[in-house]
Amino acid sequence: MKLTLGFSPCPNDTFIFDALVNNKIDTEGIQFETVLEDVQTLNQWAIDGKLAITKLSYGVLPLVLEKYAVLNSGSALGNGVGPLLISNGEYTIEDVSEQLIAIPGENTTAHLLFSLAFPNATNKVFLRYDMIEDFVLSGKGLGVIIHENRFTYAQKGLHKIIDLGDYWEKETQNPIPLGGIVINRNFDTELQQKTDRLIKKSIEYAFSKYPELNDYIRSHSQEMSEDVMRKHIDLYVNKFSLELGTTGRSAIQKLLSVYSSLHPGTAIVNDTVFCN
């Protein structure tokens, strides 16, 4: 059986999926046809139902629950891992609503967290995550950064206004649910569980070799230094990546609740969020 699988080229995803897609573990008869894309593209494809299995932002999950169920393995959740709102120059919290804000995709978790913290800030532009530092550096406005930009913005003279993940944690007392892996609901329970098990095995294999960085991670890392690659993996791959558990599931349910509060009238099918 061949299944399409989408994830990002970021080190945390290539770390997670390397063993699975490069035949370093037994895939139990499943072949994975991989597509590597930025997360906003994957979010849109999830809305369209394009892939069998895909990484997505938890911010888009409310829009795709009729098509997909969340797998227990492969997620990016944690504490202190959230997006940052940055500026070129000194700005205060009170200044934010008057500025143009660059967001890394309309349906991203970063956008949801920004909207929770700044509901009155409506002057936004949506860009690929790797374009936002340059947007801010050029003086066009403020920006919400994710991924490796967390480790590079200060070196470029940019300033943090607020850690949106820290805001989420204080407001909800939950870890931050950034992104996860979902599978098409039309697959039977056995295939869902097998896929979940294989992703967990792939992560366990990767951890058994860490801190070694293989060529698969390097080849997709956009010229990051090895130090930044490891920081990326250390930040986004953790116990919740191996298994969501009760705490991880509760955080995702809380995000769905927050989404509903920000989008009144949105119907969310939340009684079968997770795969069996």
Instruction: Return the active site residues.
Output: 147
To 10 degrees, what angle do helices 164-172 and 109-117 make? 70
Structure-token match 């970063």, residue found: 110
| Cα distances (Å, whole numbers) of residue 146 to 67, 81, 108 | 27, 9, 10
| 212 alpha carbon, distance to own chain's centre | 23
Nearest CA-CA partner of 112 in 144, 142, 150, 134? 144
Question: For the residues of 100-128, what is the DSSP string, one character each?
Answer: -EEES-TTSHHHHHHHHH-TT---EEE--
What does DSSP assign to residue 274? B
